Amino acid sequence: MVSRVIPVDPFDLVIFGGTGDLAQRKILPALFHRFCAGQWPEDAQIIGAARSDLTTDAFRQIVAESLRRDAPRRAENTEALDGFLQRLDYVALDAMSAEGWPELTGRLTKDRIRAFYFSVGPRLFGPLADQIRSHGMVSDQTRIVVEKPFGHDLHSARGLNSTLAAHFDEGQIYRIDHYLGKETVQNLMAVRFGNMLFEPLWNSQYVDHIQITVAETVGVDGREEYYERAGAMRDMMQNHLMQLLCLIAMEPPAKFDPDAVRDEKLKVIRALDPVEPHHIVRGQFATGEGEPGYREVVNNPRSTTESYVALKAHVSNWRWAGTPFYLRTGKRLVARSSVINVQFKDAPHSIFGEAAGRHANALSIRLQPNEGITLKVTIKEPGPGGMRLIDVPLDMSFADALGPENQDPPDAYERLVMDVIRGNQTLFMRGDEVEAAWAWTDPIIDGWQARGDVPKPYDSGSTGPGDAELLMKRDGRRWQGIKP
């Protein structure tokens, strides 16, 4: 099965921060892949913009090096690489001054899609928006792309929203959470709403609890300063895990359309109860496996920033009342794994008697690595000697099921950048969604600060702090998904 490529309309894409890490490692390789896939029209152009005084040729050289590093297989094709580089232009400008802006205006094509990607720190969002507006670059075909972090708390997120709203309509603003661009995350919606099988059971009557795990083996190297201010709650829970929770818990939207989907997600966030302090565990990785601990990495012996957080959340609505959602994420854990486990309840009555044991179905959705779905079902243990039951997995790996050409799904940024050009906001966060997520997150963080909470140390290369196991054990449950 080969994926269909639907060409997009001609566009100009300006990447502010075009020389930066995100642009070089993610955005430009994603654009290159789509170019190689034949999705670009003849005359689309990308303009890199930053303060560095570079010629267009020098910028192309930098991008060529990045592509050879980050997209080596496709960059081997020199014809494709040269073709892509020819579409690149560069303008030196400063968001904080008038320098370079008339030149940028002159390079843009009239009457076509114009996307401005803010691949810069959030303090530049306001100045960039002002410059774009004052240089007359806004039209009804203008789109603005902003990166996470979208605010540090509710107050700052509101500030960013109102700064952008002063210049652009909500329909022109694309807030990226790259998790939503992952093929398997979109599959959550396909699995839920494309099959009859699951949806009738998808509620508190049949689901005992749901677990969402995003475990990373990496630490915070290279991002120490940012991470010290953020921590796992702001960096992962408020956005990525919250988005996964929304997709798992939301009501079926009437159609797969941006506002219908985002309205349903927003309802989930607003239905979240405040989290009780004893339902949260914070952790910080200590030295282990010959690697330095968090405090050494960030060079702050008294740091109280969490690199791990686990919590129990409740979605208070008809569908989910009484079904807890356990969410956890952490760094320097034993394995890299993003997985959602939907644990169904036991059958109400066992006709096989107590000796056969009690069994319950579980649906496990693996987002990475080895994307796929496993449904745990109960069967008879083979052989004579009475009716004994065992659990077996019905396992579907997407790579195996969809064939080798789909083993390497497109990076999230490929999908998202092309959606910006297409003008499809379904996989982007709306301003009210982001604010609602902060409104739920802020009291948790404020509570830690007020109580002077210190995260529990956990060994690098482990499954996280022991208290996270206790959080489950107290409820007679246990975590699934990452194994030591």
Answer yes or no whether residue 120 interacts with ligand NAP by CB under 6 A. Answer: yes
Q: With beta carbons less than 8 A apart as the criterion, state whether 48 and 19 touch.
A: yes
Nearest-CA neighbor of 145 among 316, 31, 227?
A: 31
Nearer of residues 398 and 413 to ligand NAP, judged by Cβ: 413
Return the residues of window 55-114 that contact ligand NAP according to CB under 6 A. 94-96
Residue type for 229, please? R
CA distances from 99 to 95, 105, 121 (A): 8, 12, 19
User: Burial, 88: exposed, middle or buried (Cβ in 10 Å; 0-12, 13-18, 19+)?
Assistant: buried
Give the per-residue contact string, 133-172, with ligand NAP (x = CB under 6 A; - = no): --------------xxx-----------------------
Tokens read off for 179: 């998790």
Which positions ≥6 away from 439 have C-beta within 8 Å?
Answer: 154
Among 41, 102, 121, 386, binds ligand NAP (CB under 6 A): 121
Three-class secondary structure of residue 39 per DSSP = coil
Nearer of residues 47 and 272 to ligand NAP, judged by Cβ: 47
Strand pairing of 337-346 and 207-215? antiparallel
Query: What DSSP string describes 203-255?
Result: STTTEEEEEEEEE-S---TT-HHHHHHHHHIIIIIIIIIHHHHHHHHPPPPSS
Nearer of residues 21 and 103 to ligand NAP, judged by Cβ: 21
Minimum Å distance from CB 307 to ligand NAP?
Answer: 17
Catalytic residue selected from 152, 178, 240, 279:
240
Minimum Å distance from CB 359 to ligand NAP?
Answer: 42
Among 17, 181, 330, 464, binds ligand NAP (CB under 6 A): 17
Minimum Å distance from CB 121 to ligand NAP?
Answer: 5
Q: Based on the residue annotation, tell me whether 279 is a catalytic residue of this protein.
A: no
Answer yes or no whether residue 291 interacts with ligand NAP by CB under 6 A. Answer: no
Answer yes or no whether residue 19 interacts with ligand NAP by CB under 6 A. Answer: yes
Minimum Å distance from CB 24 to ligand NAP?
Answer: 8
Q: What is the DSSP letter of 142?
A: E
Nearest-CA neighbor of 457 among 279, 308, 292?
A: 308
Tokens read off for 57: 């040729």
| Options 45-53, 185-193, 198-206, 266-274: segment touching ligand NAP (CB under 6 A) | 45-53
Count of residues binding ligand NAP (CB under 6 A)?
A: 22
| Options 119-127, 154-162, 337-345, 350-358: segment touching ligand NAP (CB under 6 A) | 119-127
Residues annotated as catalytic (active site), given as ranges:
240
User: Binding residues for ligand NAP, per CB under 6 A?
Assistant: 16-23, 50-52, 94-96, 119-122, 124, 147-149
